[in-house]
């Protein structure tokens, strides 16, 4: 049985960004600082880390929240996250 091909760094980043867009209200900007390939309990994942900027209301300022999302390297499924 041939090994599955893994997705690219860019594909992992896009999957993480889409996940954040669906999860966070008032998301203004996503800044990805690092994407690296790792293995967790036999699963190959990309660790995508960065800062999500969430917009405030009329009088409140933007809030920056760090995030770390683990994207499965074979199918771009989200396997873990911290925000």
Q: How far apart are CA 72 and CA 24, in angstroms?
A: 21
- What is the β-pairing status of strands 63-72 and 43-54? antiparallel
Which pLDDT score, from 0 to 100, does residue 61 have?
83
The residue written with tokens 């660790």 in the block is 47
Which band of pLDDT confidence, cut at 50, 70 and 90, is reported for residue 83?
confident
Tokens of 64: 């920056």
Does 68 reside within a domain? yes
CATH of the domain at 52: 3.10.450
Residue 39 lies in a domain: yes
For residue 1, being part of any structural domain is answered with: no
Residue 32 lies in a domain: yes
Domain count, the chain: 1
pLDDT tens across 20-64, in order?
A: 999 988 899 999 999 999 988 888 999 999 999 998 766 678 889
Pick the more confident residue, 63 or 78.
78
**Residue ranges making up the domain that contains 41:** 9-82
Helix (H, G, I), strand (E, B) or coil at 7: coil
Q: State the CB neighbour count (10 A cutoff) for residue 24.
A: 16
Whole-angstrom distance, CA of residue 6 vs CA of residue 46: 10
On whether residue 4 sits in a domain, the answer given is no
């Amino acid at each position: 049985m041939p090994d599955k091909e893994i997705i690219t760094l860019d594909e992992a980043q896009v999957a993480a960004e889409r996940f954040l867009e669906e999860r966070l209200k008032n998301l203004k900007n996503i800044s990805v600082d690092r994407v690296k390939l790792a293995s967790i309990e036999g699963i190959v994942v990309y660790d995508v880390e960065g800062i999500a900027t969430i917009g405030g209301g009329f009088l409140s300022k933007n809030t920056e929240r760090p995030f770390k999302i683990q994207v499965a390297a074979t199918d771009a499924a989200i396997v873990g996250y911290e925000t």
